[in-house]
A and B are shown apart, each in its own frame.
Chain A
Amino acid sequence: MEQLIIGVLEQGFIYAIMALGVYITYKILDFPDLSVDSTFPLGAAVTALMLSNEMNPFLALLASTAAGALAGIGTGLIHVKCKVRDLLSGIIMMTALYTLNLRLAGGSANVPLFNNQSVFDNDFINGLFPEALSSYKTVIIIFIIMMIAKVLLDFYMKTKSGYLLRAVGDNPTIVTSLAKDSGFVKIVGLAISNGLVALAGSVMCQQQRFFEISMGTGTIVIGLASVIIGTNVFKGNLLKATTAVVIGSVLYKACVAIAIEVGLPASDLKFITAVLFLIILIISMDRKKKVKS
Chain B
Amino acid sequence: MIELQHIDKYYNIGTVNEVCLFKDFNLTIHDGDFISVIGSNGSGKTSMLNLICGSLEAEAGKIILNGEDITHQKEYVRQRKIGRVYQNPAMGTCPSMTILENMSLADNKGKAYGLQFGTNKKRIDDYREMLSQLGLGLEDMMGSKVGSLSGGQRQAMALLMTTMTPIEFLILDEHTAALDPKTAELIMELTGKVVKEKNLTTIMVTHNLRYAVEYGKRLIMMHQGNAIVDKAGKEKEELDVDALLNQFNQISIETGN
Contacts and interface: CB of A to CB of B under 8 A. Distances in A.
Given A178-B106, A181-B76, A160 B84 contact: no
B94 A179 contact: no
Interface residues on A, range: 20 to 34
Contacts of A162: 118
A174 B93 contact: yes
Interface in B64-102: 74-77, 79-80, 83-84, 86, 90-97, 101
Interface residues of B, number: 33
Contacts of A177: 79, 83-84, 92, 109, 162
A159 interface: yes
A65 interface: no
B92 to A, nearest CB: 7
Contacts of A161: 113-115
B108 interface: yes
B95 to A, nearest CB: 6
A171 B89 CA distance: 11
B91 A174 contact: yes
A163 interface: yes
Contacts of B105: 160, 163-164, 167, 174, 178
B114 A171 contact: no
A54 interface: no
B118 A163 contact: yes
Given A160-B118, A180-B76, A166 B96 contact: yes
A25 B257 CA distance: 48
Interface string A165-178: 01100110111111
Contact of B113 (A170, A171, A173, A180): A180
Contacts of A167: 94, 97, 105
A171 B95 contact: yes
B127 to A, nearest CB: 14
16 contacts: A158-B118, A159-B118, A160-B116, A160-B117, A163-B113, A166-B101, A167-B105, A170-B97, A174-B93, A174-B105, A175-B76, A177-B109, A177-B162, A178-B79, A179-B77, A179-B110
A160 B116 CA distance: 6
Interface string A222-245: 000000000000000000000000
Contacts of B93: 171, 174
B104 interface: yes
B182 to A, nearest CB: 26
Interface in A236-280: none
A68 to B, nearest CB: 20
B108 A158 contact: no
Interface of A: 156, 158-164, 166-167, 170-171, 173-182
B168 to A, nearest CB: 13
Nearest to A157: B118
B114 A160 contact: yes
Given A170-B96, A171-B91, A163 B104 contact: yes
Contacts of A180: 76, 113
A179 B114 contact: no
B92 A159 contact: no
Contacts of B74: 181
A163 B76 contact: no
Which are the 10 A-B pairs with shortest beta-carbon distances?
A: A163-B118, A179-B79, A160-B113, A170-B94, A179-B80, A164-B113, A176-B76, A159-B115, A167-B94, A178-B109
Contacts of B79: 176-179
Nearest to A171: B94
A176 B55 CA distance: 10
Contacts of B108: 160, 178
Contacts of A166: 94, 96-97, 101
A167 B95 CA distance: 9
Contacts of A158: 117-119
A167 to B, nearest CB: 5
A163 B84 contact: no
A178 B105 CA distance: 8
A164 B84 CA distance: 18
Nearest to B92: A174
A88 to B, nearest CB: 24
Contacts of B75: 176
- Choose among A158, A160, A164, A170 the residue with the greatest number of B CB atoms under 10 Å from its CB: A160
A91 to B, nearest CB: 27
Nearest to A169: B96
Contacts of A178: 79, 105-106, 108-109
A159 B116 contact: yes
